[in-house]
Amino acid sequence: MSKPQVVVTRRIPRAGLARAQEACNVRLWDSDEPIPRPTLLEWVRGVEGLYCLLTERVDDELLDAAGPSLKVVSTMSVGYDHIDVAACRQRGVAVGNTPGVLTETTADLAVALMLAAARRLPEAIDAVRQGAWSTWKPEWMAGYDLYGSTVGIIGLGRIGSAVARRVRGFDCRILYYDPYPNDAVAAAVGAEYADMDKLLAESDFVSIHAQLTPQTAKLLNADAFRKMKRTAVLVNTSRGGTVDQDALYDALRSGEIAAAGLDVTVPEPLPPDHKLLTLPNCVVLPHIASASYATRTKMAVLAADNLIAGVTGRPLLTPVER
């Protein structure tokens, strides 16, 4: 019996590729750079499965190019806003993502961004490298404490609650906003529900852990920044589109808020001449929240398992239900 034909759109961790190759005939785009769109549209013709990343747009054009043989789209990511899930469902194409396996690693990075932005670590590193470190000065490179602060978490799902567990170790007061409050989860992590206005007004750190939807697009905007403390730090490890970057630039430049730490932006990659990168109080990382060796391997294997389940007619391990 011949193996199902599938396309893998990027070089992925070895364990994930090996898992896919055991069960499928894999056509691999063997590069760290995204597969060109025309090539992808050609390669998907007649395949049964597509293993993709955030960079591949799965829309009517791609689904039409693939044709009726396509059974599953498996993305090596938690986010799936690059996939038209409704269009897939109309065609009977299952969609899988990789939630859960990157929760702890992403939460680690969210806390790292809190500390890096509040304690001005990139500025301090640059000062040492540029020879600006002359002597010990009482207020030079002074920042803000995470310990004993109030942390506001927007979205108390897997990652948001993992962040809450971590900042409890810093003796933080934890507020959270979620359109679907969960008293049991909140009690387990010591979080107190607050509406958005209260969260913004009282938090020293605001950490975003929300999916990108029409309701959350530019949720953190000029109006939100006006409600925040001037000493507040914004952290975003969710989706770049949840923040109005023009309004964030203005808030940081004017001192309306103190600092920001971003792992996600619009666009990605952020151009090196982008105005946010001119600000010393804005720490920007290249979307590396899940980038530990162990976690990226788990993501690759889970995406492969979803792919295999889809092409063999079995339920996906982690289907997108929307």
pLDDT digits (tens, 9 = 90+) for 78-111: 989 999 999 999 999 999 999 999 999 999 999 9
The backbone region for 180, taken as left when phi is positive above 0, alpha when psi lies in -120 to 50, beta otherwise, is beta
Q: Which whole number is the average pLDDT over 30-47?
A: 98
- Helix, strand, coil distribution of the chain in percent, nearest 5: 40, 15, 45
Range 32-36 average pLDDT: 97
What's the confidence (pLDDT) of residue 222? 98
Do 162 and 183 meet the contact criterion of CB atoms below 8 Å apart?
A: no
* Phi, psi torsion values for 186, nearest 5 degrees: -60, -45
321 — pLDDT class (breaks 50, 70, 90): confident
Task: Tell me the per-residue pLDDT of 197-221, one tens digit each, with 9 for 90 and over.
Answer: 999 999 999 999 999 999 999 999 9
Name 39's bridge partners: none
Cis peptide before 269 (omega within 30 of 0): yes
For residue range 258-279, list pLDDT tens digits in order. Answer: 999 999 999 999 999 999 999 9
Angle at 133 between CA 127 and CA 138, to 5 degrees: 105
* pLDDT value at residue 226: 98
Q: Is 209 a catalytic residue?
A: no
Q: Which residues of 203-212 are buried (b: 16+ CB within 10 A; e: fewer)?
A: bbbbbbbbbb
172-183 exposure pattern, b = at least 16 Cβ within 10 A, e = fewer: bbbbbbbeeeee
Cβ contacts of 140 within 8 Å, gap of 6 or more: none
**306 to each of 4, 56, 74, 77, 186, how far by Cα in Å?**
14, 17, 6, 12, 31
121-156 residues labelled b (16+ CB within 10 A) or e (exposed) = bbbbeeeeeeeeeeeeeeeeeebbebeebbbbbbbb
The pTM (predicted TM-score) of the whole model is 0.91
Domains of the chain: 5-101+294-311 (3.40.50.720), 103-284 (3.40.50.720)
Instruction: Please state, rounded to an integer, the average pLDDT across all residues of the chain.
Output: 97
Q: Give tens-digit pLDDT for 158-171.
A: 999 999 999 999 99
Residue percentage of the chain with pLDDT more than 70: 99
Per-residue pLDDT of 115-152, as tens digits, reads 999 999 999 999 999 999 999 999 999 999 999 999 99
Residue 1 has pLDDT above 90, yes or no: no
Q: Which one from 82, 209, 274, 287 is the annotated catalytic residue?
A: 287
Residues 179-183, mean pLDDT to the nearest whole number: 95
